Amino acid sequence: MTTTRPVRKAVIPVAGNGTRFLPATKAMPKEMLTVVDRPVVQYAVDEALQAGIENIIFVTSRNKTAIEDYFDSAPELIASLTRSGKTVQVAQLEKMLPVAGTVSYTRQQAPLGLGHAVWCARELVGNEPFALLLPDMVSYGAKGCMAGLMDLYNDVGGNVFAVEECAPEETSSYGIVGVGNSVAHGFQVTEMVEKPAPAAAPSNYYLNGRYILQPEIFELLAAQERGAGNEIQLTDSMQTLLQVQPFHAHPYQGRTFDCGSKRGFIEANVAFAMLRADMGAELHASIKDILALHETRMKAA
Ligand code: G1P
């Protein structure tokens, strides 16, 4: 059944171990690594709020309490900053504090895959459509990816997600979709496959980590069947749901940085820093210097 019930809640899974960033993530959640001066997870929260989301549900795990502390008040810090006259910093901290009661946490008790992490949020989401943002994927564009996705959802209802194009040899890193008829803001999805080999991929459109899903997905995730990588995959349950509910894809006009990879994380830092009025121009010049230094260094090696 197609429905355009409003989307009020967003699920943000933050339970992953961050193995790719060891040793930095030995004692710190990967979601707290900074892109310029804000943790990666803040970008996903801002994107959700910008799209009109009212409630954020984090699926956490052991050793992630820094995320809860980050989204809580910090009275001692505020008092200390106030005493030192640091009014700009006080205003900044007060502005980013979520409204009390709008952030919830539940724990994924074992790392069984994205599908399982989403299923862990079922009681907090309840029987209504919800947004899902994978915080490793940081979107960079004039408009937030989730806001664009919301436009598509308001037109077509059902289930929607954002896609981008990858190089043909990269399909085995992502969920890949089959392309159907065009609609305003996107296209109908004919199939979804998790991490297919290039020869088996239905296209090079990959799921970039932004979804709006109907609550019926939870019944399918409850079966907890393992898929690619022996993990409980969200994509597999979406493919099953496609038999009874429509899915549409929204090609994101911006670009997403995969901050779960070292290269994507560094690229995001450079790209976001270059947008900043307080350092963008200087950084642009520094990058030219670094490139020249690098060339000299490589010649000397
Ligand atoms: C997950 C999803 C995949 C999606 C990707 C985006 O994979 O399963 O469909 O394309 O996120 O980052 P993961 O990166 O967790 O392996």
Ligand 1 in reach of 206 Cβ (< 6 A): yes
User: Which atom of ligand 1 has the smallest separation from the CA of 207?
Assistant: 10
Percentage of residues of the chain with pLDDT beyond 70: 99
Ligand 1 centroid–CA 173 distance in Å is 7
At 28, list the tokens.
Answer: 């710190």
Ligand 1 centroid–CA 152 distance in Å is 21
- The answer to whether 172 and 74 are in contact (CB under 8 A) is no
Res. 1: pLDDT tops 90: no
Residue 17 pLDDT level (bands cut at 50, 70, 90): confident
Give the position of tokens 């009275």: 75
HSE-CB of 172 using CA atoms within 13 angstroms: 6
Ligand 1 in reach of 218 Cβ (< 6 A): no
Residue 3 pLDDT level (bands cut at 50, 70, 90): low
Nearest CA to ligand 1 atom 7: 174
Ligand 1 in reach of 13 Cβ (< 6 A): no
HSE-CB of 74 using CA atoms within 13 angstroms: 20
Cα–Cα distance, 199 to 215 (Å, whole number): 33
Ligand 1 centroid–CA 49 distance in Å is 22
**Main-chain phi, psi angles of 147, to 5 degrees:** -65, -40
Mean pLDDT of 103-126: 97
Mean pLDDT of 276-280: 95
SS in 3 state form for 217-275?
A: HHHHHCCCCCCHHHCCCHHHHHHHHCCCCCEEEEECCCEEEECCCHHHHHHHHHHHHHH
**Main-chain phi, psi angles of 137, to 5 degrees:** -90, 110
Ligand 1 in reach of 175 Cβ (< 6 A): yes
Ligand 1 in reach of 114 Cβ (< 6 A): yes
User: Which atom of ligand 1 has the smallest separation from the CA of 260?
Assistant: 14
DSSP state at residue 99: P
Q: What is the pTM of this model?
A: 0.95
Ligand 1 centroid–CA 197 distance in Å is 15
pLDDT score for 142? 87
Longest dimension (CA), the chain: 66
User: Which atom of ligand 1 has the smallest separation from the CA of 208?
Assistant: 6
Nearest CA to ligand 1 atom 15: 114
- The answer to whether 92 and 47 are in contact (CB under 8 A) is no
Ligand 1 centroid–CA 136 distance in Å is 10
Domains and CATH numbers, the chain: 9-260 (3.90.550.10), 261-301 (no CATH)
pLDDT, tens only, 128-168: 999 999 999 999 998 899 999 999 999 999 999 999 999 99
Give the mean pLDDT of the chain: 95
Nearest CA to ligand 1 atom 11: 209
Mean pLDDT of 234-248: 97
